Structure 1
């Protein structure tokens, strides 16, 4: 099987996971310049903001980098569900002096669209990766015709086979241990989700394209184990969260360095989709999975002002403290040093 070094034109079999909300181009630049594949999360960026980040990327690295986009279908707004969901937060709003009528309801994450595809073609990144499946065929063909390698996440063998049938260049096998949002897209049944080292060999056996292991890999030993099971490379996210190049908040950094980081759970209370984070007050009291949560990303708005207020007070009670099940690799060292260390 082809190594990702050969597929992407990089030196090390390490991809830095795109992590919306805790990084910008600085982390991607550091990893790419160290010989790995740096990634920029684009789902929360406007076209103007993405162009600015792309200018910075091209100015500060000559190495390949990855742009990551979400491919969810924007849900039809449901006013009654939004009211029912927001009502669950009434006590919290009262505690923090927030007027519930002033809570915005706009979506915080946009799916890949024509405007973003045009930017991809203008800047021609080496790799474009997708989460929650793939965009519409015409958008996918635009990206492919502009020369980018196409990658997406699979959380089951069925998803991997579907992605291969759509012509992706590589598949990320996202195990249950992974922090942040599950990439699941053929089913929303979390009972279908399995661990990295159970999922990886099954996907490797099922498909012909290179497979990248993700989830719970935090050190060089984990990288070696994934490669031994047939991975063409690995994607690592959580381990980078304490690097100075990450924009991880103070409360998030503190949580990662505390005993609380030993307990993570899948939750939908922050966004409406299952995502893994360190268990905090909101997850304990409203979740971790709540059937009233509006569809992704419409659940986000209700907790946003609480998060802002609590973080100002030094509390992460309402913050999505995304982290995988293995925080042992989190180090306050440069992203370049961590990338080299992971590669052994």
Structure 2
């Protein structure tokens, strides 16, 4: 019934639906549920240690025999800039005082580690069926080792130029991430968020420019969106925001309320939360300091100063400093088990494609 079965056959999954690897919002529980529903399980590893990533994979392996996708960041690590950090702390100082916190007190540094030797060792040891990257690809030697395990390599492109680069440098499948998508922009050849095309414009142009299968990502949250992606030439879809209100999601109770109340106008692209452009539901600090601020330290160091504020506000049931990463289709999210949602998405897509064909 699916017009393009390349990903179904290559990933050995029932439905061409990839769980978006949403760092901090999901873990093995969500991955297992989506696998049980027939989609591709994804585990976000960017905020984990190598040991924790190994533990998460083992949990999935114990529960399901389905393939798993391990996701990593490929950003170039940047040392913290003390002067810029001080300016940032000064900008956030009124919030610290409001919450009875000392803006000069030492805090734990934000942890978003790029793919390295340790993570490569985890991939070689555990041999996940799929390995995906954000912000490009790792250095050639590491990528060669990943591919030697037999893993299928995915990476995100936000422009046609990035998609061509990814194909030329070893990606087996390309995720075309439109501007509607939640979370960090996968951009790595440009920093201009104003020029990023939307999913509907990006996907067919990427499909025309590369030979490898293309996964559509951004603003897809129901069967209509999946059917549209296939009409544009995609071989599959990556969905994240639609799963955020599932019981397996790790977002807080306050975050669930904010997501449930969000509308099509609620999300913005901001650099305030981490120092790198990402789309999320606007919160207090994003509105008052950003959404784009020149004071925000480089990724991921902007998150360091926000850590104590996030913890203090969340204790009061507020998400004023919490990164609620979500795409523009946030209001289309469902409160149902993730396995059930995966099957419902696939069924609705097949029904819509059947209507269009008939």
Aligned to 1:205: 208
Aligned to 1:152: 155
* Contact map agreement 2:120 2:142 (CA 8 A) in 1: yes
The correspondence of residues 263-278 of structure 1 with structure 2, limited to 5 A, is 263-278=266-281
CA displacement 1:139-173 (0-9 Å, x = unmatched)? 10111001100000000000000000012110000
Aligned to 1:135: 138
What displacement does 1:260 show?
5.6
The correspondence of residues 79-94 of structure 1 with structure 2, limited to 5 A, is 79-94=82-97
* Contact map agreement 1:251 1:314 (CA 8 A) in 2: yes
Q: How many residues align?
A: 344
2:342 counterpart (331, 336, 339)? 339
Aligned to 1:118: 121
3-state SS, counterpart of residue 89 of structure 1: helix
What displacement does 1:107 show?
3.2
Aligned to 1:164: 167
Aligned to 1:328: 331
Structure 1's consecutive aligned runs of 4 or more residues displaced over 4 angstroms after TM superposition are none
Q: For the aligned residues, what is the CA RMSD?
A: 1.1
* Contact map agreement 2:263 2:331 (CA 8 A) in 1: no
Q: Distance in 2 between matches of 1:278 and 1:17?
A: 17
What displacement does 1:86 show?
1.1
Q: Distance in 1 between matches of 2:85 and 2:108?
A: 9
* Contact map agreement 2:155 2:174 (CA 8 A) in 1: yes
Aligned to 2:300: 297
* Contact map agreement 2:260 2:331 (CA 8 A) in 1: no
Q: Distance in 1 between matches of 2:41 and 2:108?
A: 32
Aligned to 2:224: 221
Aligned to 1:101: 104
* Contact map agreement 1:103 1:305 (CA 8 A) in 2: no
Query: Structure 1: which 5+ residue stretches go unaligned?
Result: none
3-state SS, counterpart of residue 309 of structure 2: helix
* Contact map agreement 2:306 2:321 (CA 8 A) in 1: yes
Aligned to 2:239: 236
What displacement does 1:9 show?
1.1
What displacement does 1:329 show?
2.7
CA displacement 1:272-307 (0-9 Å, x = unmatched)? 000001111101110000011111001110111101
3-state SS, counterpart of residue 173 of structure 1: strand
TM-score, with length taken from structure 2: 0.94
What displacement does 1:210 show?
0.2
Aligned to 2:66: 63
Query: Structure 2: which 5+ residue stretches go unaligned?
Result: 348-358
* Contact map agreement 1:17 1:235 (CA 8 A) in 2: yes
